[in-house]
Amino acid sequence: MCYVSSSETSGRQVAIRRQLAAEQGPRMTSCLFLGVAPRPPPAALHLLLRRRMASNRAFQLRLNPLTGDSEWLVVDEEEEAPAPSQHKQLLAATSYLDMLNDTARNRAYRHAIDATVTDPTSCVLDIGAGTGLLSMMAARALAAAGGEGRGSVSACEAYLPMGKLTRRVLRANGMENRIKVFHKRSDELRVGVELDSRADILVSEILDSELLGEGLIPTLQHAHDMLLVKNPKTVPYRATTYGVLVESMLLWKMHDLHSNEANTEDGVWLTPGTENILSVKLQQHAMQCDALEDEILLLSEPFKVFEFDFWKRPDSHRETKIEIKATADGHAHAIISWWVLQLDSAGSVFYSTAPGWVRQSSGVDLPQCVNGMKDWCDHWKQCVWFIQGTGAPAMKDQTLALRASHDQTSISYHLNINDEVSSRSPKSDHLTLLPERIALYGDKAWRSALIGAVRNAMSGRSSPTCIVADDSVLLALIVSSLLPSSKVITMFPGLRDKGFNYLRAVADANNFSMDRIKVIGKKASSLTMNDLKDEKINLVVGEPFYHGSEGMLPWQNLRFWNERTLLGPLLSEDAFIMPCRGILRLCAMSLPDLWRSRCSLKDVEGFDHSVVNDTFGACGDLPGEQQGPCLPYYVWQCGYNKKLSEVYSLMDFNFSEPIHSCFGKTKIKFSHDGICHGFAVWIDWVLDEKKSIVISTGPESRYWKQGVQLLSRPVQVNPGP
C-alpha cells in the first residue's frame, strides 16, 4: 500500500510508502492506493461483460490481470444493497464521473429537456439511464408542465451495479416514486409489460467518441419499431459527424510500421515485403487530439460526414462521397473526426466534441456548445482514422475524393486508395495491435534496446532454449534471428495461434526456420520438462506486453514476474531473465483538468449526486480521508500537466527471485511551484544486469499508460529556499 499523510503535504516534501503484497501462484494480486489508511486489494478486476441467465440472475466475468485467469460469477439482480466493493474499481474506471462533471453537457441536456417535455401527458423513456440524471430532468420538467400523476418517466439501465446506484440517486432526490427503473436492455422492454404504452419522448445518452460504438443505431431502430410513437420527440434531436485532414508525424508513426522499421536497419522484419502484415486495426481510434495542437498541420477545412436524426428510424448502412479541397501542401496521414449534437428541435442547444484548435469554416456550420467552450473532458475524445500506408500527398487547392461509409457500430473512410484492395478481409496471419504499440515497434531506440539486451544475454550460449513469456512477437523474431541455433518457445497467452501464424509468415524474411519455434498453448504453471524435451530453459524474455491488457495499470504488467516464478523449476542455474528488474517510479504532478473531471459531485443541475462519490472513486471534499483508486491514463493527453518534482524510485522488483511481498518508502521534495493534484506512477524496465539498458514507461513516453493517483485535495507547493 502507499500512503500520503495530509499533514505532510503542505510543505516542501511528502512522505510516501508503497507495499506490494503478492502470493506465489496464480492468485497473485496487487494494487496501489495513495491515502491515509490501507484498504485490501481487490481479488480481481471485474469487466463490463455480462450474460443474462434468468430474470433475476446474471453472469459477470471476473478477470485477474496478473494471471490472465477469469471466471464467470452469478450475480443476484434482486439484491438492493449498495454496489459491493468489488464493483467499485470497475465503476471508478468508467466515464460516469467525468461525464457528470461535464457542466456544458449537463446544462445542454437540461435546456433541451425543459424545452421538449412540455406536454403534461407525455410518456418519457430514458435509455441507458446511468445515475438517472436525464430521467430526473424529465420528471422535473413534466411536473413543471403540470403532468405529475398524468405523464410518466421510465428508465432502463442494463448494467446491474449501475442500476442499483440509479435507485440510490433517485431515493436521495425523492424521485424513487416518480421514475420506473428497469434493470434491462432497451430491447428487452415490452409495451404492455414493462411499459404501459409507447413513449412520446425519448431521452438518451448512448454515445461514444465515435458516436456509434455503443450501439446507437440498433438501439434507435428497436426503439422506433417497438417502444416509441410515430414521430416522437427526442433529446438529442440530431447528431452530425465532422472530419478534417491532417499531417502529423506522430500519427504517421502510430500506423505505418512498414516505413518506420525500414529506417531502423537492424535486420529484423516485422512487416517484410509489400503487404503490411502487422498493423493497427482499420477503425477510428479515440484520442485526445487537443494535445496534438502543436504537432499537426491542417490540410483541409472541417467537412461534414453524416447526420443521424434521433427522431426517426436510422438506416443500418450508408455511404457518401465527399470532395475535399486541400488548404495547404502536405501529406495526409490521418482524418481527425468529432461530432456535434443538436439537442433540441429548434436548433438552439448544441454540444460539440471538436478539438479546441478546429477553425470555424465559412462553408461549414460548426455550432458551439451552449454557453461557450466546454472544459477538457475524458469521457468523449476525438477519433483518428489512419490513412493506410504512407498516406496521401496533398497540394494546396487540390481536390481529394473521400468515401465515407458506416454500418451499425462504426464509420470508415477511404481516401484516394483502391477500394477493392482496402476492403479485403485480413488473412489469418495478419495481426492488429494498438497504435501505441505499432509506434513502439517502429521506434529505432526501442528496438535497439531490446536487440542489444538479447544479444548480450545470448553471448557465450551456443544453443540456448528461450521462452518468450508474454505476447511479444518482436522478441520471438529477435531471438530466432540473432542465434540460428536457439530453440524458442512462445507462450502467446493472448495471441495464441494468430501469433504462430504470424511468425510462420515472416520466418523466411528473418532467416530462421519455424522448426526451431514452438508455440505452447499452456499456462506457465502447467509446463513440464516433457514439453521442453528435458532441456532446461536458459533465457526467459518479455517486453512485457500482454495482448488485450493495454488498459491495465502499469504494475499489472508484473504478470511477467508471476510467469517467471511459475517457470522457476524449469530454469537452468544460470538462466537469464529479461527484463532483470522493474523499478516503480513516481513524480508529483499538477493535473488540474484531470482532477476537475474526477472531483466529487454535489449538485448536478439541481440534483444531489453525493451518494455516488465513493462508488465512482471521486476526489475532493469527501468525508474523512476517502480517496479514489489509481487509474490508468496517458498523462500527455490529460489536459494541462506539469511535473512538480524529480522522478523518485519507490520500489525495486528483482525478477531473478521468485515473486514475493515488497515494501518501499520515499520522501518527495518538490522542485517547482504549483498545485499538486496527485502523482504519476509507472515502471521502468531494466533489461540487463549492468542496469545500462533501461526502458521507461513514464510520462515522457507517449506509448504507455501511467497510473495516476489523485489526492483527495489539491495542495499548493513550492520548492522553498
d(CA 629, CA 619) in angstroms, rounded, equals 9
d(CA 465, CA 108) in angstroms, rounded, equals 62
Q: Do 12 and 719 meet the contact criterion of CB atoms below 8 Å apart?
A: yes
User: Which residue type sits at 369?
Assistant: C
Say which residues have a Cβ less than 8 Å from residue 437's Cβ, sequence separation at least 6.
Answer: 545, 550, 703
- Asked if the peptide bond before residue 592 counts as cis, ω within 30 degrees of 0, the response is no
Q: Which of 470, 505, 508, 510 is nearest to 490 (CA)?
A: 470
Say which residues have a Cβ less than 8 Å from residue 606's Cβ, sequence separation at least 6.
Answer: 110, 140
User: Which residue type sits at 333?
Assistant: H
d(CA 420, CA 428) in angstroms, rounded, equals 19
Residue 422, Cβ neighbours under 10 Å: how many?
Answer: 15
Q: Which of 651, 633, 653, 652 is nearest to 589 (CA)?
A: 633
d(CA 693, CA 709) in angstroms, rounded, equals 28
Q: Find residue 235's DSSP bridge partners.
A: 203
- Roughly what angle, to the nearest 10 degrees, separates helices 473-482 and 444-458? 50
Q: Which of 257, 248, 258, 238 is nearest to 384 (CA)?
A: 248
Residue 25, Cβ neighbours under 10 Å: how many?
Answer: 12
Q: What are the residue numbers of the active site?
A: 205, 214
Q: Supply the DSSP symbol for 226.
A: I
- Cell 537492424 belongs to which residue? 266
Specify the pairing of strand 487-490 against strand 517-519.
parallel
Say which residues have a Cβ less than 8 Å from residue 351's Cβ, sequence separation at least 6.
Answer: 104, 105, 108, 340, 341, 343, 369, 370, 374
Q: Do 675 and 607 meet the contact criterion of CB atoms below 8 Å apart?
A: no
Q: State the burial class of residue 293 (Cβ atoms within 10 Å of its Cβ: 0-12, 13-18, 19+).
A: exposed
d(CA 593, CA 714) in angstroms, rounded, equals 12
